[in-house]
A and B are shown apart, each in its own frame.
Chain A
Amino acid sequence: MRNYLKPQKKFRVIFFIGKGGVGKTTTSAAVASYLASEGYKTLIVSLDPAHNLGDAFIMQLGDRPEEISKNLFAMELDMEKVIKSYLHHLEDSMKYMYRYLTVINLEKYFEVLSYSPGIEEYATLEAIRDILKEGDRWDIIVFDTPPTGLTLRVLALPEIAKIWSEKLIDIRRRILDKRLTIEKIQGERKFVIEGKEYKLPSREEEDEVLKELINYKMEVEEVLKTITSDERTSVVAVMNPEMLALYETERAKESLIKFNIPLNLIVINKVINLDVNIPQLKVKMNTQREVLKEISQKFKNIDMIRIPMYEKEPRGFERLKELGKLIVEVG
């Protein structure tokens, strides 16, 4: 069994990335099924807003982990629900606090917030974080991700979020420092707005903003630590023997190196093997051969496996398990 698919320190996280339509869902479902049948308690999560994990298993999945076979749990994340519940919570607390704000029409702001750029990526990151937080419940967590572009942006976020929180913490500390200086001379200061009085926080332990910032930074760092550790995380790139898929995988590899996230295995899916000679397919077969040659040159140090194109789509637990065995076991 490939070592980087087995849990070593605590639980193992496996991301399946790739261009749309190359077979990420099938491959990830196959690997998860096989690992579960080998006795690892496995959770497979679909992060793709266009869910089709349920289709691979031929069953309906919910947004909570459900045991669909022995040791195998599956869920499809409902991104819209996640975003809505955030906004709902925020709106309530803000409406109460910011009654005085009429210049900035906050209500309208909330209405459009769910369409604001980046919110889907952040919600995805948040969802991954929530799952990792309870990661000890499983031996292996498999993520079936949306097409490469979005996934790479999500994986880049923890680093960006960390930089943001560090800078904001820095400014916040300077504000509190000034406040404390003033307080020492003037005495405790109150801030009155709409007849309500607030004490102006001046120490780190009484400032909610700083507390939230520090908590957020710690959470992000935890995610970052998990996904950049090769003992905890593996990435499997799925591709087809086509030029475009090859280019995209190459770019993905470069991005992953930049984020320090290990790329371990490349699954070349839907490889056509024919014993008979069909003239109409000759050009396609030739291109495929060329691409395969190029792949083995470009990804020299990465494990690779070829999966033939099946006559029938592998669906359902038993067939997926067989396919999974092909991918997980060496040789």
Chain B
Amino acid sequence: MLKKIKYFFKGFMGSFKARSTEFIEFEERELENIFAVLLMGSFIGIPSPPTTLLMRIMPHMVREIYVMQRRAVDMDDMIGEMAGLMDIE
């Protein structure tokens, strides 16, 4: 019984925590996206930073490039994402 209550609270707190960072996570993803887009700008025609600098940081950019890609895929459903964030079902 006690275990169940413990689980319940853990789940409750977990969801609470997740909700509390939702906005910051959104902001984080946006920043990561911008960072990656700035670096890969030559693909979409905006000036790139020094090629040598790019070469040095690209190997560590797995996450940011992934986020950028997801962002590009979800681009057609921006309203959906905003609605989700604002709790509009």
Q: List chain A positions with a Cβ less than 8 A from chain B.
A: 86-87, 89-90, 93-94, 97-98, 100-101, 103-104, 113, 116, 118-119, 122-123, 125-126, 157, 160-161, 164-165, 168, 171-172, 174-175, 178-179, 181-182, 185-186, 191, 193, 198, 200, 208-209, 212-213, 216
- Whether the Cβ atoms of B28 and A94 lie closer than 8 Å is no
Q: Which of A104, A119, A216 contacts B56 (CB 8 A)?
A: A216
| B interface secondary structure, majority | helix
- Whether the Cβ atoms of B69 and A179 lie closer than 8 Å is no
- Whether the Cβ atoms of A191 and B43 lie closer than 8 Å is no
Contacts of B57 in A (CB 8 A): 208-209, 212-213
Chain A residue nearest to B73 (CB atoms) is: A103
Q: A208 to B62, alpha carbons, bound, how many Å?
A: 12
B residues 47-76 in Cβ contact with A at 8 Å: 48-53, 55-63, 65-66, 69, 72
Q: List chain B positions with a Cβ less than 8 A from chain A.
A: 17-18, 20-21, 24-25, 27-28, 31-32, 34-35, 38-40, 42-43, 48-53, 55-63, 65-66, 69, 72
The 8 closest A-B pairs by CB, nearest first: A178-B28, A208-B60, A93-B59, A164-B49, A90-B55, A161-B50, A212-B56, A175-B31
Contacts of A97 in B (CB 8 A): 59, 62
Q: With A208-B60, A209-B60 known to touch, is A182 a contact of B53 (CB < 8 Å)?
A: no
Contacts of B48 in A (CB 8 A): 118
| A interface secondary structure, majority | helix
- Whether the Cβ atoms of B53 and A216 lie closer than 8 Å is yes
